[in-house]
Amino acid sequence: MPCTVIAGGFWGDEGKGKIISYLALKDKLDFCVRTGSVNAAHTIWFEGKRYALHAVPGGFVNGKCRLLIGAGANVHVAQFFKEVEETGVKSRVAIDSQASIIEEKHSAQDKSSEHLKGLGTTGWGVGPAVEERVRRTAKLARDIPELKPYLTDVAMETNQAIDADKEVLLEGTQGLLLSLFHGTYPYVTGRDTSASAICSEAGVGPTRVDEVVLVFKSFVTRVGTGPLPGEISKEEAVKRGWFETAAGTSRDRRSAPFNFELARKAAIINGATRLALTKLDCVFPECKGMRVSEQLPAEAKQFIERVEEETSVPVSFIGTGPDALDLIDRRG
């Protein structure tokens, strides 16, 4: 899959980090380009350790993968350095000199705005930081002295990598239903989260992309306020094994059964060529840890078939446990 975009299909937290880490190892990713900002936490289990990454691209699990942060991204300098240290990627991570900077004042503005509080934002300040960028008064990565050694031209590096047939992954954040354009406005994040926007933030044209992998969890979760069709109570979620807390903010995640209609919409708008279905073991516990399709129980197979029928996109990856390699790869 030379140039692949990874996008979320619902309200984020679908398990994009897990799919990225699997591809990084299995497909030997050469480049992984992160977009978005610190509001998103991508959870990755690697060698028995859990990482919740807000800045460093998920491809870090492959020690040979170049890690880039695109021009459209919005960088929290302290969080970036904290994660570079934690993941030990100093020699292979870089930021586009035009990425914008999110500062403490943005977080303070986010937390003190009644309107933003009402939307249940993460409080990192991404909305106010993006506002400042739109006003063209934001600081960029090139304005921060500590970032000097890390600056690069991400669009050029990435396009050259695609020209050279390297394995390139563009890492999206959140999910389609949190998109500023296509989501449940005003209960959305401060940017478009669709595959096209991910390309745009990285600086890669639509004709250069080979695959769009759209990630769904086998049930739906949402943090913050806004509609969630078919929402179940926290008690019921606990009973079903679906109750989660947010990797970034520790807030309770609300939950609902898988939504075929919304999945179809997300597949269309993202132009998905493949789907990933994570946490199948939380809906069908017998699937836990399985790594081959044939073993799946009939009920789970029926569910996967229905997802494929309703979206007209093949389910190529099935998550059966937290580790990067707890996965059924159906690419054949």
> Based on CB atoms, which residue is closest to ligand IMP, 41 or 313?
41
Provide CB contacts within 8 A for 185, sequence distance 6+.
none
Q: State whether residue 279 is helix, strand or coil.
A: coil
Q: State whether residue 187 is helix, strand or coil.
A: coil
Instruction: Give the DSSP H or E segment for 239.
Output: helix 234-240
Number of residues that bind Mg ion (CB under 5 A): 3
Which residue of the set 30, 42, 110, 326 is catalytic? 42
> Based on CB atoms, which residue is closest to Mg ion, 247 or 267?
247
Residue 224, contacted partner among ligand IMP, Mg ion, none, CB below 5-8 A by kind: ligand IMP
User: Are residues 306 and 277 in contact, defined by beta-carbon separation less than 8 angstroms?
Assistant: no
C-alpha radius of gyration, the chain, whole number = 19
What's the CA gap between 40 and 215, in Å, rounded?
15
Catalytic-residue membership of 76: no
What's the CA gap between 239 and 35, in Å, rounded?
35
Residue 327 touching ligand IMP (CB under 6 A)? no
Residue 223 touching ligand IMP (CB under 6 A)? yes
Q: State whether residue 220 is helix, strand or coil.
A: strand
> Based on CB atoms, which residue is closest to ligand IMP, 10 or 150?
10
Segment near ligand IMP (CB under 6 A); pick from 16-24, 95-103, 118-126, 144-152:
118-126
Site string for ligand IMP, 61-100 (x = CB under 6 A): ----------------------------------------
What's the CA gap between 166 and 197, in Å, rounded?
22
Segment near Mg ion (CB under 5 A); pick from 139-147, 220-228, 240-248, 273-281:
240-248
Catalytic-residue membership of 115: no
DSSP state of 114: H
> Mind telling me the catalytic residues?
13, 42
Footprint of ligand IMP on this chain (CB under 6 A)? 11-13, 39-41, 119-122, 124, 126-127, 173-174, 178, 187, 189-190, 223-224
